[in-house]
Chain A
Amino acid sequence: MGTRSALGERWRHLDKSSWVWLLAIVVLLFLVVNPLFRLLLVSLQQPDSGAFTFANYLAAYGRSRYVDALGNSLVLGVSAASLCVAFGVPMAWALSRTDMPAKGLIWVSILGTFVIPPYLGAVGWILLAGPNAGWLNRFVVEVTGAQSGPFNIYSMPGLVLVVACYSFPYVFVFTKSALDLVSSEMEDAASVLGASNLRTTFSITLPLALPAILGAFILVFLEAIALFGSPALLALPGRFHVVTTQLWQFFEHPPRVGVAAAYAMPLLLITILLFWLQRRITHRKGYVALTGKGGERRPVPLGRWKWPMLAYCLAVCTLSFFMPMVVILQAALAKAWGRGFSLDNLTLNNLYFTVFENNLTQSATLNTFTYAGAASIIAIALALCVAYIVNRQLVGPRLGNVLSFLTMAPFVIPGIVLAIGFYAAYTNPPLLLYGTAWILILAFATRFLPIAFANSNAAIRSINPELEDAVRTLGGTRFTAIRRVVAPLLKRSLAGAFILVFIPATRELSAAIFLYSINTQVLSVLLFDKSDEGNFEMLASIGLILVLITVALILVGFRLMGRDFMLRRTAA
């Protein structure tokens, strides 16, 4: 009896939440460590015998042409990420903090941009800025009478532009979520001391969003390195290689999976380096924006700067969305897109066929959205747990660092290589998932876990722990604190995180192509087939439908969640 009550006493005092944290760590091991570990093994094995060897690393890095590709990828990553910040941060500020008009239009355009599969966007840009026949070049030739147009999309700057166009929404959503939380009082303090609006923005508002911007920068950098579609279209004709185009060649017959794995491994070192940098920059500064002590948010009046700001936003959206969309529409509605735009070339047959007659598209659409939805929920739940553990120091700082690194690691491994890891991890007992929908869902969840984590991390950092301490002082458990205080505060950031995981998951190709089976076909694979078949009319139709459905789903989703589509709170 005595022991039992003592046990009961201990049970009562034990922080039950620790089980959840333990579980989160186990799931992380299962999702991330297992595939990465298998990948490491593959990179150190001889293909036939499985014996230990460093030969794969020698093959991957023993030739200058392979190393050059890595250099090009780094240039691409840094330039694209910088351009994304230049695109995304001002727009996020304008939509979050100012009274700029037409915010709804800009937001929908950004959403649309994000949904367009980068491959399709890249083809759109070839038609716009191809050196010989690009519409923009022909326009310039027409107007100025020059010999040839000035733009060449088949170049490093061209590739950087296209990659940035389809990645800047990450920076936008991250920054906007952070800025949405900054209260006007902090800005008022600066204003009272005589600072101008501009100065307040640069010395108060934006620095508070710095962790979010840095997180997004890293994310975009890693995404630019891991992309395959756009580099394959633009870099090869531009006569240079990047990591992913080089990787693809290791899969040509005879496939050298071990060499591919070895070639991708140093990318993990780059990720570690980036984390270290991020920590150095944001070290020991406070970024708590949500204190629970009031916090009114008033838009900054832009005055006559309203219009230039709107013009900038529209300019970016024109580059990323409107112009490529015109090209996609033209192709989707054309009998033969090579004939250009004319009335007798218009047809709705491509769209009709895609929506109503092609059974494959129908089931693939359903699968795509189900898997992406399930993957987003898993990724966000796990990311939140890890972000909470790390930020509230429920584990030691070292373990915290390892956890954050693990959560971010999957992003940098190009999907085509990661698929090998998944395949190896989930075809061996105890987990036989190969051929099922789960392998796709888990692969998507793992691949985009970093996005969810970067987002959750920034969100949790911005919440003052005092809010939870108040609950605990009043006798509430950690769970009560999380349920009643943290979760409601996070809702808005989570909506952003959901978009950022859901959309990339609907277009994930490189892992899906190796893991899907007859009954688990997804749209991205169909899109890839159409591009492989040179069928641009159908490719554009499927792309257009993907854009329409996804944007509609998100808008309706937010309505249902009780927020308007600007992610503002509808009720205080």
Chain B
Amino acid sequence: MKRRTIGRLLALAAAAGIAAAPALAQMPAWETELYEAAKKEKEFTVYTAHYNTEEAANLCSAFEKKYPGVKCNFVRTTAQVAFQRFQQDLQANKPVASLFSSTDVGHYVDLKKRGMLMTYKPNNQAKMVDSLRQYNDPDGTYTVTAAALMLITYNTSLVPEKDAPKNWPDLLDPKWKGKVSIGHPAFSGYVGTWVVLMRKLYGWDYFEKLEKNQPQIGRSVNDTVTMLNAKERWVAAGPEATTLLSRDKGNPLGVIYPTDGSLLMVSPSGIPKNAPAPNAAKLYLEFLLDKEAAETQVKSHSLSVIKGIKPAPGAKALEEIKVVRPTEDEIVKGIPEVKEKFRDTFGI
């Protein structure tokens, strides 16, 4: 509680311009310019599916601390809900979102095709991890602002580390019969991309074999965390961040970075053409590619998208991990296909 009070006092002080003055002095010209323009817009809203609610709130308050006078609102929800709401706003001609942050790359391909995204190449792109820059739109309508991994997760009270699966085909071992948990590609973009990747690496045969192990199929990728915690299942194809967050609380969970590669999920942000506060959105986009945001993100076990940020204990930095990712084209075309095939194989 005390910390909050101090935080509020600091914010007050910042708002009074005491803290802001020196910060302003260090800003490069483009940043000062954006900041001044953003202050005139007063506030902005981001639709985001990138983080959990706490992390979204923390990012917003870190932004407000860095740029006093610009209020940051967020609507945190799932990718498909965010997209549906964005469409609703558009049709109602009541734009709300100044920044659109979905986890589904398909949304950006679609919005870009319909000419609904503004072109803006952030100055801070230079700070990004090299391997991530290739996923930015070369035309500058969207930029990667969040990255996460899908990997092998397990319950440490049921499985000793040495026996845990080391790579993706290890999940097919008959010793995991009735003990594997996965999500559903029709309900989760993470799982959809994972299924595309497995098909690319090992052919559809991978899922024919997986079915023999009677995996439990949940809805979202995060359902695997619940299943491992409940001890209903022992190992899973799960998310790094949510699993580690739950482990931080003391839950008996562990992650394995597969030797054949963790699935890299990149989530872009784009500024809609109808953004009510385009300058604030640009400033926030820059902020997401800067040190303060990255430090906030790694605390919640999201990966830092910029170089030189130390990951939270127990996690590895993006530069140290072997990651794999299907191409954008493979994902956009592949997900509808694998949804159908998945249903043929698993009956659901």
Contact = CB atoms under 8 A, between A and B. Distances in A.
Contacts of A279: none
Contact of B53 (A126, A360, A536): A360
Nearest to B109: A253
A255 B77 contact: no
Interface string B291-331: 00000000000000000000000000000000000000000
Given A255-B83, A423-B88, A338 B155 contact: yes
Interface in A233-279: 233, 236-237, 239-241, 248-249, 251-255
Given A232-B219, A251-B80, A338 B96 contact: no
A532 B78 contact: yes
A144 B258 CA distance: 40
Interface residues of A, number: 52
30 contacts: A126-B230, A132-B178, A132-B179, A236-B184, A236-B218, A236-B219, A237-B217, A239-B217, A239-B347, A241-B348, A252-B187, A336-B246, A336-B250, A338-B157, A338-B231, A339-B251, A345-B250, A356-B1, A423-B88, A427-B91, A434-B94, A514-B84, A514-B88, A518-B73, A525-B77, A526-B53, A530-B53, A532-B78, A536-B226, A536-B229
Contact of A132 (B53, B110, B231): B231
A306 interface: no
Nearest to A153: B232
Interface of B is mostly: mixed
A243 to B, nearest CB: 15
A152 B249 CA distance: 29
A518 B45 CA distance: 9
B330 to A, nearest CB: 16
A498 B341 CA distance: 47
Size range of the interface on B?
Answer: 35 or more
A133 B230 contact: yes
Interface in A96-149: 123, 126-127, 130-134
Given A518-B75, A537-B249, A130 B230 contact: yes
Contacts of A466: none
B186 A252 contact: yes
A338 B253 contact: yes
B53 A236 contact: no
Interface of B: 1, 4, 45, 52-53, 57, 73-81, 83-85, 87-88, 91-92, 94, 96, 104, 106-107, 110, 155, 157, 178-179, 184, 186-187, 216-220, 222-223, 225-226, 228-233, 242, 245-246, 249-253, 339, 343, 346-348
Contact of A534 (B223, B231, B348): B223
Contacts of A9: none
Nearest to A131: B232
B187 A248 contact: yes
A513 interface: yes
B289 to A, nearest CB: 24
Interface of A: 65, 123, 126-127, 130-134, 154, 232-233, 236-237, 239-241, 248-249, 251-255, 335-339, 345, 356-357, 360, 423, 427, 432, 434-435, 513-514, 517-518, 525-526, 529-530, 532-537
A236 B348 contact: yes
Given A133-B230, A423-B88, A517-B96, A240 B348 contact: yes
A358 to B, nearest CB: 9
Given A339-B251, A357-B4, A251 B217 contact: no
Q: Which of A127, A132, A237, A517 has the most CB of B within 10 A?
A: A237
Contacts of A337: 229, 251
Contacts of B83: 253, 255
Nearest to B185: A252
Contacts of A127: 230
Contacts of A251: 80, 84
Given A240-B348, A249-B187, A255-B80, A534 B222 contact: yes
Given A127-B230, A360-B53, 20 more contacts: A131-B232, A132-B178, A233-B218, A233-B219, A236-B184, A236-B217, A239-B346, A253-B107, A255-B83, A336-B246, A338-B231, A338-B246, A357-B4, A434-B94, A435-B96, A517-B75, A525-B77, A529-B52, A532-B220, A532-B222
Nearest to A539: B226
B243 to A, nearest CB: 8
A513 B80 contact: no
Contacts of B73: 518
A255 B82 CA distance: 12
A130 B232 contact: yes
Given A123-B226, A127-B230, A239-B348, A335 B219 contact: no
B42 to A, nearest CB: 14
A215 to B, nearest CB: 33
